[in-house]
């Protein structure tokens, strides 16, 4: 990931590119999470090679990760195999919205160059999102089966044991999600403990693309094809 990104940015700068949109990672930055640090280094390199010409999109949890991840479907009958932290609340965002935001930014560099946007549309737990999808499209309740980062790492290893970048990414996720799972569990067990609910910024997305971002309900209606049981 790092060397490919460097080569691509170098080529863009050499070609005289005046605006560069990067789908990066959501804050917080300067953490000890390997794949977040990769994005931070790439962002910094864009700023060095193309000063004030970058737009940085910081997405939340892709809604599509509920149904497809690591190159394979996660829908098996009425069960969704999802990698995540049970009980945690995530800032959902659809890939459709991310793509439209990116296109809008590319079409208007004078407005968007030099800016960063947090693409957080709606805060839900995975369990709540799946329940909402189930009721929206009128299915027998879908269930969530949590898969571990180690499971996903093993999948990636089986797909291509020579793909070092993919394996390094999932190794990073493995350590990060294990820590997040422990923190969430402790928060729920503490007296009066509450799970952190992230802020969301639907107005940021609406300002860029001229419409509100898709809610989980709207996403379910548009993507019911994933759930043909």
Inter-helix orientation angle 2-14/34-49, to 10°: 10
| Residue 161 pLDDT level (bands cut at 50, 70, 90) | confident
| Model pLDDT, residue 29 | 59
Q: End-to-end alpha-carbon separation of the chain, Å?
A: 37
Write the secondary structure of 54-106 as one string of H (helix), E (strand) and C (coil).
EEEEEECEEHHHHCEECCEECEECCEEEEECCCCCEEEEECHHHHHHHHHHHH
| Mean of per-residue pLDDT scores for the chain | 88
Q: What pLDDT score does 207 carry?
A: 98
pLDDT digits (tens, 9 = 90+) for 86-111: 888 999 999 999 999 999 999 999 99
Q: How confident is the model at residue 188 (pLDDT cuts 50, 70, 90)?
A: low
- Strongest mean pLDDT among 136-145, 173-182, 192-201: 136-145
Section 107-127 average pLDDT: 97
Q: What is the tally of structural domains in the chain? A: 1
pLDDT of residue 200: 97
Q: What is the CATH number of the domain that holds 24?
A: 3.40.50.720
9 neighbors 1 (Cβ within 8 angstroms) = no
Q: What is the model's pLDDT at position 6?
A: 96
Domain that includes residue 141, residue range: 2-224
Helix, coil or strand: residue 229: coil
**pLDDT of 36 over the 60 cut:** yes
Beta strands in the chain (DSSP E): 20-23, 54-59, 61-62, 68-69, 72-73, 75-76, 79-83, 89-93, 116-119, 122-125, 143-147
pLDDT band for 205, please (50, 70, 90 cuts): very high
Higher pLDDT, 224 or 158: 224
Q: Residue 31: its pLDDT value, please? A: 62
For residue 66, tell me if it sits in a domain: yes
Choice between 47 and 166, residue whose per-residue pLDDT is larger: 47
Residue 229 placed within a domain: no
Which of 14-23, 140-149, 212-221 has the weakest average pLDDT?
A: 140-149
More confident residue, 167 or 201: 201
């Amino acid at each position: 990931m790092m060397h490919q990104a460097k080569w691509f940015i170098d080529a863009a700068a050499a070609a005289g590119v005046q605006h560069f949109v990067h789908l990066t990672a959501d804050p917080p930055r300067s953490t000890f999470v390997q794949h977040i640090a990769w994005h931070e280094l790439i962002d910094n390199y864009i700023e060095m090679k193309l000063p004030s010409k970058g737009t940085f999109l910081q997405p939340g949890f892709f809604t599509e990760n509920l149904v497809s991840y690591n190159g394979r479907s996660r829908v098996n009958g009425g069960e969704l195999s999802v990698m995540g932290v049970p009980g945690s609340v995530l800032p959902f965002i659809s890939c459709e919205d991310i793509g439209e935001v990116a296109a809008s930014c590319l079409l208007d560099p004078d407005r968007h160059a030099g800016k960063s946007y947090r693409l957080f549309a709606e805060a839900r737990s995975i369990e709540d999102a799946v329940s909402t999808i189930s009721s929206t499209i009128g299915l027998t309740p879908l269930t969530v089966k949590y898969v571990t980062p180690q499971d996903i790492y093993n999948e990636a290893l089986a797909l291509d044991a020579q793909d070092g970048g993919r394996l390094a990414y999932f190794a990073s996720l493995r350590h990060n999600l294990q820590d997040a799972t422990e923190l969430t569990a402790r928060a729920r067990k503490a007296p009066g403990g509450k799970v952190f609910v992230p802020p969301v910024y639907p107005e940021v997305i609406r300002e860029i693309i001229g419409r509100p971002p898709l809610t989980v309900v709207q996403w379910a209606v548009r993507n019911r094809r994933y759930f043909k049981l």
